[in-house]
């Protein structure tokens, strides 16, 4: 069997930046082991597989695999897959009608995507994705051991911002300064074992000490337990991360909504920008959506 695929860089407007995801079209005939093998072959942080939906309220269904496992939610690969489908002529009304919503069946429930044209470029588009409602809970970890596994010291951790666990099993951890964040060299085997023992998917290590005032938060993301030592730009974690900033009054709020500008970058490597919109629903919590630009770098066929 042959399947068409493409590789898309998400959260960037330039090729070979941001976070690359493979997108496999028409995957209905593939089973789990085949998809796992394909994801290992691509060896990217995520591969998205596109299926026909099997629930009435969705237009399409996605599944996502790292080189090590299937995951329930992946932000950058979802943006990449929506971008890839529109490029191929599917759901083209996402561009022609800004009110169009695309319901996507996933293991995390039905997600909704939409597109917005960038005002500065007629051919540049943002893909917006409504994420599941963020849930943050306190997490008790050995901070000194975690700091050493990340390649820093306990004093580097900003203890005024407590560690939190997200609904996806990620830990949010803040450092005092950007230089420390950029200089982290984790001990990945130990960090993987620590994560597996604590049932943690990944570690979002962030700082408010950013390169520019327009950037609210800068981060790195390590997930060796999921087969991804360092992810260049992690879409799914930015919903909870942006909400954390809002809850702690670290970003301005206007009419119950905050716009958060986030950057995730590997030192000397890939970097990407994530836009987040966090809306407060009094008495009901928060909702969040993320957005980024995408650019295709490869197209081809794979054989199974």
Helix (H, G, I), strand (E, B) or coil at 87: helix
CB neighbours of residue 144 within 10 Å: 12
CA distance 290 to 242: 9
Catalytic residue among 2, 4, 46, 116: 46
CA distance 135 to 234: 17
The H helix count followed by the E strand count for the chain is 7, 18
Residue 129 CB contacts under 8 Å (≥ 6 apart), including other chains? 75, 78, 79, 82, 111, 112, 113, 235, 289, 290, 291
From the list 129, 50, 114, 39, the residue with the least C-alpha distance to 85 is 50
Helix (H, G, I), strand (E, B) or coil at 196: helix
Q: Specify whether 284 is catalytic.
A: no
Residues taking part in catalysis = 46
């Amino acid at each position: 069997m042959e399947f068409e695929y493409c590789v898309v860089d998400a959260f960037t407007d330039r090729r070979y930046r941001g976070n690359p995801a493979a997108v496999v079209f028409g995957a209905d005939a593939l089973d789990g082991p085949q998809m796992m093998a394909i994801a290992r072959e691509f060896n990217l942080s995520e591969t998205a597989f596109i299926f026909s939906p099997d629930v009435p309220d969705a237009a399409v269904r996605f599944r996502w695999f790292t080189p090590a496992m299937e995951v329930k939610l992946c932000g950058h690969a979802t943006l990449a897959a929506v971008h890839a489908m529109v490029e191929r002529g599917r759901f083209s009304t996402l561009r022609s009608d800004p009110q169009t919503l695309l319901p996507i069946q996933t293991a995390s429930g039905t997600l909704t995507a939409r597109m917005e044209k960038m005002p500065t470029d007629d051919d540049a588009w943002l893909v917006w994705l409504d994420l599941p409602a963020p849930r943050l809970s306190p997490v008790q970890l050995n901070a000194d051991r975690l700091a050493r596994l990340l390649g820093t010291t306990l004093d580097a951790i900003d203890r005024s911002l407590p560690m939190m666990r997200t609904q996806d099993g990620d830990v949010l951890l803040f450092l005092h300064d950007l230089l420390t964040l950029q200089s982290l060299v984790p001990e990945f085997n130990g960090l993987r074992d620590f994560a597996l023992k604590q049932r943690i998917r990944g570690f979002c290590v962030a700082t408010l000490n950013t390169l520019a005032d327009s950037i609210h938060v800068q981060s790195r993301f390590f997930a060796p337990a999921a087969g991804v030592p360092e992810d260049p730009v992690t879409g799914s974690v930015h919903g909870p991360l942006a909400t954390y900033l809002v809850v702690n009054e670290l970003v301005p709020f206007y009419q119950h909504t905050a716009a958060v500008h986030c950057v995730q970058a590997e030192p000397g490597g890939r970097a990407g920008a994530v836009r987040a919109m966090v809306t407060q629903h009094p008495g009901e919590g928060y909702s969040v959506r993320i957005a980024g630009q995408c650019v295709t770098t490869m197209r081809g066929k794979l054989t199974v």
